[in-house]
Amino acid sequence: MSDKPVPKQPHKKDAQYMRRAYIYTAILLILGAIGGILLADRIVVAEENREINVVEQQEDDDPVPSIHD
């Protein structure tokens, strides 16, 4: 008995299936782009805040001349 398994036949993709696939792909790409932009904005704001905090901390570390000296 040499029953070879029958290979799967590719199913034909109709126009409606492909249209939905393209729409879902476009939606995911748009959501990914929006998410990337929002994440980049948060990173830039956090970096700016970190730089401001470093400058403020350096100003606090500078010795202030005292009146009593």
Which pLDDT does position 4 carry in this prediction? 84
Q: What whole-number distance in Å separates Cα of residue 1 and Cα of residue 17? A: 40
Which tokens in the block code for residue 27?
Answer: 């939606």
DSSP state of 68: T
Which tokens in the block code for residue 41?
Answer: 């904005």
What pTM was estimated for this model as a whole? 0.56
Which tokens in the block code for residue 58?
Answer: 């350096």
Q: What stretches of the chain show up as alpha helix (H) in DSSP? A: 15-61
Which pLDDT does position 42 carry in this prediction? 95
DSSP state of 59: H
Q: Which residues of the chain have pLDDT under 70?
A: 1-2, 58-69
Which pLDDT does position 37 carry in this prediction? 97
